[in-house]
Amino acid sequence: MQERLYLTDRLASLGEMAAGIAHELNNPLTGVVALSQLLLEAGVPPEIKDDLEAISSEGQRAASVVKNLLSFARSHTLSAQPLDINAIVSQVLSLRAYEHRVNNIEVVTHFAPNLPEIIADRFQMQQVFLNIVLNAEHAMIESKGRGNLTVTTELSGDIIRVAFADNGPGIPADIINRIFDPFFTTKEVGKGTGLGLSICYGIVAKQGGRIFAQSQPGQGATFIIELPLTAPD
C-alpha cells in the first residue's frame, strides 16, 4: 500500500510537470511539421528533399511523444457508464486480430459468463487493455517471432479481474517493480516513451482498482487488472 501511494503521488507530480513541458513543445513542433510538409508539397531539389523528409519524420515522432505526455498529464473526467468488460476486451482483441494473424500470435480467451457490469470510462478501459496487448505482442514478436496470448476474466467477490498472459521472455526480477514508473522502458530508442504503463496505472487507480504484473524470466508475463464493481466517489 505504501508503494502504491508513493507511485500515485509521484505520477501526480510528474503529470503536472509533463503538462507544462508538452504545452511548451507543442506549438513549435506543429510549426516544424506543418512547414516541412508545405515545402515538400511545393517541390524542392532532390538534394534537399531527403533532409526535409527527415525533418518532417522526426518532427512527427517528437509530436507523438508530446501527445503521449499530454495523455499522461491530462485530467480526464470519468464518463460514468455501465460497461461489459468482456465486450470491451473483445473489441480490443478484434482491433488487433489482423496483426495477430500476420505475426502468428494465437489468442485464447476464457471469459467468465454473465459478469456484472461496472461503472467505468469506456475509452480509458480500452486504452488500458490495448496498451497491455500491444506490449505483449512486442515482447513475443521480438523474442520468438510468434506467441500465445491468453486472456481471462473472472469475478472474485466484488472485483472483476482481467488477466493477460503471454509466453514472451518474461520480465527480469530487477525491473518488475519499475515497469509502471513514468518514462521507464526497455524498448529501443524511438520505439517507446515509457509512458504507456504509467498511463494505465493512473487510469486504473482513478477507477479505484489496481494493476500489477507477475512473471518468471523465460516463462512469459501476466498483467492483471482488478476493477471494483462499485464506482469510485
Where in the chain are all domains bearing CATH 1.10.287?
A: 2-73
pLDDT, position 165: 96
Q: What would the pLDDT profile of 170-229 be if each residue is shown by its tens digit?
A: 888 878 777 777 665 655 544 445 567 888 888 888 888 999 999 987 889 999 999 998
d(Cα 21, Cα 16) in Å, to the nearest integer? 9
Confidence grade of residue 72 (pLDDT, cut at 50, 70, 90): low
Report, as an integer, the average pLDDT of 64-91: 74
- The percent of residues in the chain predicted with pLDDT above 70, rounded, is 77
Confidence grade of residue 19 (pLDDT, cut at 50, 70, 90): low
Confidence grade of residue 80 (pLDDT, cut at 50, 70, 90): confident
d(Cα 158, Cα 230) in Å, to the nearest integer? 8
Q: Which three cell numbers stand for residue 147?
A: 506467441
* Topology adopted by domain 81-228: Heat Shock Protein 90 (3.30.565)
pTM of the complete model:
0.66
Task: Give the pairing type, strands 105-110 and 147-156.
Answer: parallel
Which has the higher per-residue pLDDT, 143 or 16?
143
d(Cα 92, Cα 113) in Å, to the nearest integer? 18
pLDDT, position 233: 60
With CA atoms as reference, report the closest residue to 163 among 124, 129, 127. 129
137 pLDDT above the threshold of 90: yes
For the stretch 37-51, what's the b/e string if a residue is b when 16 or more beta carbons lie within 10 angstroms of its beta carbon?
beeeeeeeeeeeeee
Which has the higher per-residue pLDDT, 70 or 97?
97
Mean per-residue pLDDT of the chain: 81
Report, as an integer, the average pLDDT of 108-122: 92
CATH entry, 2-73, from 1.10.10, 1.10.287, 3.30.70, 2.60.40: 1.10.287
Q: Which three cell numbers stand for residue 50?
A: 531527403
pLDDT, position 7: 53
3-state secondary structure of 64: helix
Q: Whole-angstrom distance between the N-terminal and C-terminal Cα of the chain?
A: 19
